[in-house]
A and B are shown apart, each in its own frame.
Chain A
Amino acid sequence: MTLPGSVDALAALLAEHGYLAPPSLATTLYLGLVLGKPVLLEGEAGVGKTEVAKALAAALGRRLIRLQCYEGLDATTAVYEWDFAKQMLAIRLAEGDRSGLEKALYSEKFLLRRPLLDALAPDPAGPPVLLIDELDRTDEPFEAFLLEILSDFQVTIPELGTIRAAAPPIAILTSNRTREIHDAIKRRCLYAWIDYPTAERELAIVAARAPEVPAQLAAQIVRFVQALRATDLFKKPGVAETLDWGHALVALGAVELDPDTVEATLGVLLKYQDDLARLTGPAARALAETARRPA
């Protein structure tokens, strides 16, 4: 499908697919699409960075190609690899005539495509969405390697030559900021910081993503989580936790927040023992009481 014609059109399209993007994010994404530039998304864990790419792929009807980063990620797992087992077999089979063997061994037939090379291949539905997830988990050598791909959308395979994307993929990079991404990468990207949503937006997100949560409970959940984020925590709950909590409370048959259920299910929201210890008991009860009172 063709690209949306305005920021609002893109935001509306994403909303149809269950992603409620704040204006700053929608604008950055739109510019990324129009200018053909990668978008680097940073934000706390659980604010929906990865979801952006998924929603974008679904909304535009494109294929989603995901590269999960980890330490030591290298070209053989990210871009391409030669199928050595097959190559060895071919060497054995070519017992007699071995002229031209080298050329035959380094041809497309023996090439294993990995996500980044895959993303450069032409696609009838249009260029895919390339999600490079949690870039901060890799190391600097891999970032340096990404530079060529992100600036020119091309990959050089010594034996085959340079492979260039006919139309550049829609590249989305995410980082949890456990390490600063190198400036050279940042310079090639548009940048958006995804913050925790406002109460209003979060309520809309719960309605869109967890429609089985009754409206009154959803309002209480959001008020509770918003109040929780205002307290001094080591790790604040993200939107993902809010949704999980909604699902959890519905699974327990709760129709509204009562202090006992809150205390029993706090582990869905808080994942650090210090935070849990600080919040259990009176503090959680007080928060639950506030959340139950309509604003």
Chain B
Amino acid sequence: MARPEPSGERLARNVLHFVRLLRRAGLHVGPGDIVDAGRAVAAIDALDRDQFYWALHAVLIRRHADHPMFDEAFRLFWRDPMGGESALALLLPQMKTPTTKPMSRRLSEAWRPPAPAAAEAPPAQPPEIDTFLAYSADEILRTRDFDEMSADELARARRLIRGLDAKLPTIASRRTIAARRGRRLDAARTVRAALRHHGELAALLRRRRVERPLEVVVLCDISGSMGRYAEMLLRFVHALQAHRGTGHVFTFATHLTNVTRVLRDRDVDRALALAGREVTDWSSGTRLGACLHEFNRLWSRRVLGQGAIVLLVTDGLDREDAGELAAEAARLRRSCRRLIWLNPLLRYAGFEPRATGVRALLPNVDEHRPVHDLDSLASLAQALAGL
């Protein structure tokens, strides 16, 4: 039996929908990529599933970290209901809920606006949220303590955190670029401009300093008493650093673990799962002072060199030597630009620094902020941007 040829128009439309799906799943693909993808699949034998896969991959994927998401999306989107007949798969868009293997949450959410099967264009849906908590009808959710949230509320909170678009604080670097206005003379451009005007000095051209984002280093307590807060904060950090690959994240309970590399994964759920595998002391007790000591000795010079801001996430409940804790916190504060203590226990209006750990830590930080609900995360994001 002759294999049916995929119709070009239909294929192009499905490619378009596939690209949109990837974009909704958080991959950086733009309108130009749709054109390129169309060209790419036209240039190859679209009936060859491998060729088709790698053609789209070559055009749409630019970071190795995005490969797993692409792979899963491809498998689900171009799934063949008849069992391996790739031509049919190209002809028939399938939008049935996949049942073969569980989808990643991000992909299933990206899937939700069911578009491609419909003949007409899908109704344009307003994005769920534009800026972090800029408008959220749900006042209750915003101020609900993470530890008291239902599963549904948690899911919504996680989605809100993922959509967060926080700006990192910046600092003037010593590097300069050509600019209309600036303090420094751009002699090279000035001479060149003069040459264009037959040697007449028409204007003095300028350079200005470039702003660079400040590094943010996170030390996150993941001991048992931190409960949900550690997870939500790590999600927040993931969203904060999604835009650029710098900054460092450490977790600690009884010992310090560097989870920077695994948290680079674009998919926050998978990043956390990977981190969970790296970390061996989830939900145990805390040795705050010892962990800060370890950080100071082994890492501080390596990761705080660029004038980083340190977010220390802990409830300060440490039963060990308070003297050591105070000394190490002081050491840390002197090594960084700003030491900000994020404390979920600060949610209680009547919070008093009674625990010895808290009393040791408090005088040695620059700032003490709550992180127990979405509102406190939003104000943290605002505070960071304003530094």
Chain A residues 227 to 251 lying within 8 A of chain B, measured CB to CB, are 232, 234
Q: B175 on the interface (CB 8 Å rule)?
A: yes
Residues of B at the A interface (CB closer than 8 Å) are 173-176, 187-188, 190-191, 194-195, 198-199, 201, 212, 296-297, 301-303, 305-306, 327, 331
- Inter-chain CA distance A214–B18, complex, in Å, is 78
Shortest Cβ distance from residue B316 to the other chain A in the assembled complex, whole angstroms: 21
Q: Which of A101, A232, A234 contacts B195 (CB 8 A)?
A: A101
CB <8 Å contact, B188 and A82: yes
CB <8 Å contact, A178 and B173: no
Shortest Cβ distance from residue A23 to the other chain B in the assembled complex, whole angstroms: 27
Q: Which of A74, A87, A178, A232 contacts B175 (CB 8 A)?
A: A74
CB <8 Å contact, A234 and B175: no
User: What is the chain A residue whose CB lies nearest that of B215?
Assistant: A179
What are the residues of chain A within 8 A of B175 when measuring CB–CB?
A: 71-72, 74, 139, 141
CB <8 Å contact, A179 and B305: yes
- Inter-chain CA distance A73–B187, complex, in Å, is 17
Residues of A at the B interface (CB closer than 8 Å) are 70-72, 74, 76, 82, 84, 87-88, 91-92, 94, 98, 101-102, 105, 136, 139, 141, 176-180, 232, 234, 274
- Inter-chain CA distance A176–B301, complex, in Å, is 9
Whether A91 contacts B188 in the complex (CB less than 8 A), given A139-B175, A178-B302, comes out as no
CB <8 Å contact, A180 and B302: yes
* Listed A/B pairs (18) with beta-carbon separation below 8 Å: A71-B173, A74-B175, A82-B188, A84-B187, A84-B190, A84-B191, A88-B191, A88-B201, A92-B199, A94-B199, A98-B198, A101-B195, A102-B195, A139-B212, A178-B302, A179-B303, A179-B305, A234-B331
**Seed contacts A72-B176, A91-B195, A232-B297; 6 additional CB < 8 Å A-B pairs:** A82-B187, A87-B191, A88-B191, A92-B199, A136-B305, A179-B302
Shortest Cβ distance from residue B201 to the other chain A in the assembled complex, whole angstroms: 8
Question: Which 4 residue pairs spanning A and B have beta carbons closest together?
Answer: A72-B174, A178-B305, A84-B187, A91-B199
Which of B195, B199, B212, B327 is packed against the most chain A CB atoms within 10 Å? Answer: B199
- Inter-chain CA distance A176–B212, complex, in Å, is 22
A-B contacts at CB below 8 angstroms, number: 58
What are the residues of chain A within 8 A of B173 when measuring CB–CB?
A: 71-72, 139
CB <8 Å contact, A274 and B327: yes
- Inter-chain CA distance A12–B174, complex, in Å, is 43
What are the residues of chain A within 8 A of B301 when measuring CB–CB?
A: 176-178
What are the residues of chain A within 8 A of B201 when measuring CB–CB?
A: 88
Shortest Cβ distance from residue B289 to the other chain A in the assembled complex, whole angstroms: 13
CB <8 Å contact, A91 and B194: yes
User: What is the chain B residue whose CB lies nearest that of A277?
Assistant: B327
What are the residues of chain B within 8 A of A70 when measuring CB–CB?
A: 174
- Inter-chain CA distance A105–B190, complex, in Å, is 13
User: What is the chain B residue whose CB lies nearest that of A236?
Assistant: B297
- Inter-chain CA distance A53–B301, complex, in Å, is 24
Shortest Cβ distance from residue B195 to the other chain A in the assembled complex, whole angstroms: 5
- Inter-chain CA distance A245–B331, complex, in Å, is 26
Shortest Cβ distance from residue A88 to the other chain B in the assembled complex, whole angstroms: 7
What are the residues of chain B within 8 A of A234 when measuring CB–CB?
A: 296-297, 331
- Inter-chain CA distance A91–B190, complex, in Å, is 12
What are the residues of chain B within 8 A of A92 when measuring CB–CB?
A: 199
What are the residues of chain B within 8 A of A74 when measuring CB–CB?
A: 175-176
Shortest Cβ distance from residue B60 to the other chain A in the assembled complex, whole angstroms: 24
- Inter-chain CA distance A74–B173, complex, in Å, is 12
What are the residues of chain A within 8 A of B331 when measuring CB–CB?
A: 234, 274
Q: Which of A72, A141, A177, A274 contacts B302 (CB 8 A)?
A: A177
- Inter-chain CA distance A82–B188, complex, in Å, is 7
What are the residues of chain A within 8 A of B174 when measuring CB–CB?
A: 70-72
CB <8 Å contact, B191 and A105: yes
- Inter-chain CA distance A274–B323, complex, in Å, is 13
Shortest Cβ distance from residue B309 to the other chain A in the assembled complex, whole angstroms: 16
- Inter-chain CA distance A92–B212, complex, in Å, is 39
User: What is the chain A residue whose CB lies nearest that of B185?
Assistant: A84
User: What is the chain A residue whose CB lies nearest that of B301?
Assistant: A178
What are the residues of chain A within 8 A of B297 when measuring CB–CB?
A: 232, 234
- Inter-chain CA distance A178–B303, complex, in Å, is 6
- Inter-chain CA distance A179–B303, complex, in Å, is 6
Which of A84, A176, A232 is packed against the most chain B CB atoms within 10 Å? Answer: A84
CB <8 Å contact, A98 and B305: no
Shortest Cβ distance from residue A162 to the other chain B in the assembled complex, whole angstroms: 19
What are the residues of chain B within 8 A of A82 when measuring CB–CB?
A: 187-188, 191
- Inter-chain CA distance A160–B122, complex, in Å, is 57
Shortest Cβ distance from residue A191 to the other chain B in the assembled complex, whole angstroms: 16
What are the residues of chain B within 8 A of A180 when measuring CB–CB?
A: 302
- Inter-chain CA distance A76–B189, complex, in Å, is 13
Q: Which of B188, B195, B198, B306 contacts A179 (CB 8 A)?
A: B306
What are the residues of chain A within 8 A of B187 when measuring CB–CB?
A: 82, 84
Shortest Cβ distance from residue A66 to the other chain B in the assembled complex, whole angstroms: 20
What are the residues of chain B within 8 A of A179 when measuring CB–CB?
A: 302-303, 305-306
- Inter-chain CA distance A141–B194, complex, in Å, is 29
Shortest Cβ distance from residue B197 to the other chain A in the assembled complex, whole angstroms: 10
- Inter-chain CA distance A180–B305, complex, in Å, is 10
User: What is the chain B residue whose CB lies nearest that of A141?
Assistant: B175
Which of B175, B297, B331 is packed against the most chain A CB atoms within 10 Å? Answer: B175
What are the residues of chain B within 8 A of A176 when measuring CB–CB?
A: 301
Shortest Cβ distance from residue A277 to the other chain B in the assembled complex, whole angstroms: 9
Shortest Cβ distance from residue B310 to the other chain A in the assembled complex, whole angstroms: 15
What are the residues of chain A within 8 A of B194 when measuring CB–CB?
A: 88, 91
Shortest Cβ distance from residue B271 to the other chain A in the assembled complex, whole angstroms: 20
User: What is the chain A residue whose CB lies nearest that of B297?
Assistant: A234
